[in-house]
Structure 1
């Protein structure tokens, strides 16, 4: 065959074969429904990017990242607790990266060394079953302190802070609010009324929504979504102030697919992503959005800062090991 014809035929063959898609693995602690929606939109904007996603609760994912530290299996950390991502064993696996458009995110929601940034967050909230309260003749609690009333014995479920980021930020924020001694004493009194400590942050809300318990200590968006789905619950933001958590994104230093991973991280600060966050999150750090009316109807204030307890994420990270060890010694069943 003529060499010129050979080259032409080879070129035609190469053009007929689809280019291999970029592929990355993402580890996330976003709730399953949130992650699925965000990922759906990301794939629509980047159809050539294959994203393999592993979703685990905060505690489980932290343990996995640390266990794989010598040989990380992921390229991106996505929607992961800021109070956990700053754990030295996790933070040292990350590489500084400034996504395109990151300047829109205020500096207080970014690591000073650019190793992580947060575009979303959540706050602690109670899911209170109104029908069960009425049946038991109980008043609606408005604060953590109200939950110490012996009338609530066996009617409260909470997330386990060893496995749940929501659970950890609830315990950590109470200790930050009250101080170590008073905080642990409060948790010991509260424990007398707690029926169960559940693995995830959303399940206490589901249990209360189903009428199994009167109060599920959970978080804002799970309460809002269960209200929208018609469950007979109210959302209560504790009067002492709501413990809250940022959800951080980061590039893994050992990624073999860094350009693709950076594309994904760039997408997380786009307008498409920000608009999606506003439908799912009460705390969105990219400015310019408007809180949906359905959030307000469910009980969130227009200014969420007015109900948030200032969280020291660095202290929450530094104290995590000791707090969880003490909690497990005192309360794990």
Structure 2
């Protein structure tokens, strides 16, 4: 009897001992609220890779377009909800840093990151992940039907032949749209930039609330020309759509997808783990499946489907200008052009 009782107790203990760590692990898993503008077809792979490396942390995404996420973060300034911002435009993170919302942190492996794609302070408030730049998606089949020539420059898009044939992202809601506008203001000067956009506006059919949608619309033939970014352009082209990617000769606007920790997070250890992972070689290898240029210098391969000199085509971008003048630029843009924005 004593032997049977001992055996039962041993079995019970073994069961409890096997169960206890699982229960504790599940209970101790830290939910990390991450605001992001990453494309929906990217975030699943990023989440899986991070949580495999750090199984004690679970990412809870809040996803929207760059402009919406930026506005949400600024609106919540007095009572921030997010722990980390990841995959949001560097100009937006620079703006939040100026507002005192980000915690300076140098992630593990920082020395491997290209200094062109990180915050310039000794202890950075944000670090880059990857670079996305402008492209024009040109539907060759629809263009042939309409007898439209292929544009070669930004200024070509102001020619009367393209009236009503162009769609582009709304800069108030799309990071792609915002870097287009700030690039034109830098390329052509402030007065020349608004004059250019006035002329382009005559040919715009609609401003869309996504950086991807104009290229998807060009790919489907809804409109023959969509101003977008190279990742989505390559994806639409590789899906079999009859589009060519045009990289205007004046130079390309661009942005950095970046990561920063919110100063108010109560989950700092978990937030640092995500920042460390974001800067890692493993993470950058995932980014490079989507983008030609990534921040980690240990990860590099020639761009696929892009000009060999693609990186040289990117304009010298003033992120401080884009951050500091965001409200002023968007107010002016809305006043002039918002009447052609698609309904929200």
Q: TM-score by structure 2 length? A: 0.89
Residue 146 (structure 1) aligns with:
156
Structure 1 segment 168-207 matched on structure 2, within 5 A: 168-207=178-217
1:313 equivalent in alignment to 2:319: yes
Q: Tell me, what secondary structure is at the counterpart of 2:296? A: coil
Deviations 1:160-205 (A, max 9, x none): 1111110010011001111111111111011000000001111001
Structure 1 segment 65-214 matched on structure 2, within 5 A: 65-88=73-96, 91-111=99-119, 112=121, 113-214=123-224
- Contact kept, 8 Å, 1:62 with 1:90, in 2: the verdict is no
Residue 280 (structure 2) aligns with:
270
Q: Tell me, what secondary structure is at the counterpart of 2:245? A: strand
Between 99-108 and 145-154, the greater mean CA deviation after superposition:
99-108
- Contact kept, 8 Å, 1:38 with 1:273, in 2: the verdict is yes
Residue 50 (structure 2) aligns with:
42
Is the alpha carbon distance of 1:283 and 1:307 closer, same or farther for their aligned partners in structure 2, counting shifts above 3 Å? same
1:51 equivalent in alignment to 2:73: no
Deviation for aligned residue 1:71: 1.6
- Of 40, 46, 50, the residue aligned with 1:32 is 40
Deviation for aligned residue 1:119: 2.0
Is the alpha carbon distance of 1:162 and 1:261 closer, same or farther for their aligned partners in structure 2, counting shifts above 3 Å? same
Q: Aligned Cα RMSD in Å?
A: 2.0
Q: Tell me, what secondary structure is at the counterpart of 2:288? A: helix
- State the structure with more CA Rg: 2
- Contact kept, 8 Å, 1:126 with 1:216, in 2: the verdict is yes
Deviation for aligned residue 1:106: 2.6
- In the alignment, structure 1 segments of 5+ residues that lack a partner are none
Residue 310 (structure 2) aligns with:
304
1:323 equivalent in alignment to 2:333: no
Structure 1: distance between partners of 2:129 and 2:58: 22
1:22 equivalent in alignment to 2:30: yes
Deviations 1:19-54 (A, max 9, x none): 221221111111111222222222232233211001
Q: Tell me, what secondary structure is at the counterpart of 1:127? A: strand
Runs of 4+ in structure 1 off by over 4 angstroms are 11-16, 88-91
1:227 equivalent in alignment to 2:237: yes
